[in-house]
């Protein structure tokens, strides 16, 4: 798989995750590797949801910019 295909696949995954977080109405949990819950928040307009959404949007923007760079080469 070449780099462009990998970026496109990752971009689609990120967009899917963003769609899920935008439509999810329930509790969000953060767990450590040893299965200790360290944070719990209700998803609707929560700080955790906003942080996840912002990180996903930043990653999507980065991938789209990388694709544009490859198109211009």
Task: Provide the CA 14 distance to its chain's centre, in angstroms.
Answer: 5
Domain residue limits at 12: 3-71
Average pLDDT of the segment spanning 14-29:
89
Please return the burial class of 14, using the count of CB atoms within 10 Å of its CB with bins 0-12, 13-18 and 19+. buried
pTM, entire model: 0.78
Residues 6+ apart with CB under 8 A from 14: 56, 59, 60, 63
Average pLDDT of the segment spanning 8-26:
92
Q: What is the pLDDT of residue 27?
A: 85
Provide the domain count of the chain.
1
């Amino acid at each position: 798989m070449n780099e462009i295909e990998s970026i496109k696949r990752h971009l689609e995954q990120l967009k899917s995750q963003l769609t899920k977080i935008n439509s999810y109405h329930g509790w969000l949990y953060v767990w450590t590797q040893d299965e200790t819950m360290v944070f719990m928040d209700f998803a609707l307009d929560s700080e955790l949801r906003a942080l996840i959404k912002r990180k996903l949007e930043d990653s999507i923007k980065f991938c789209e910019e990388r694709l544009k760079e490859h198109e211009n080469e």
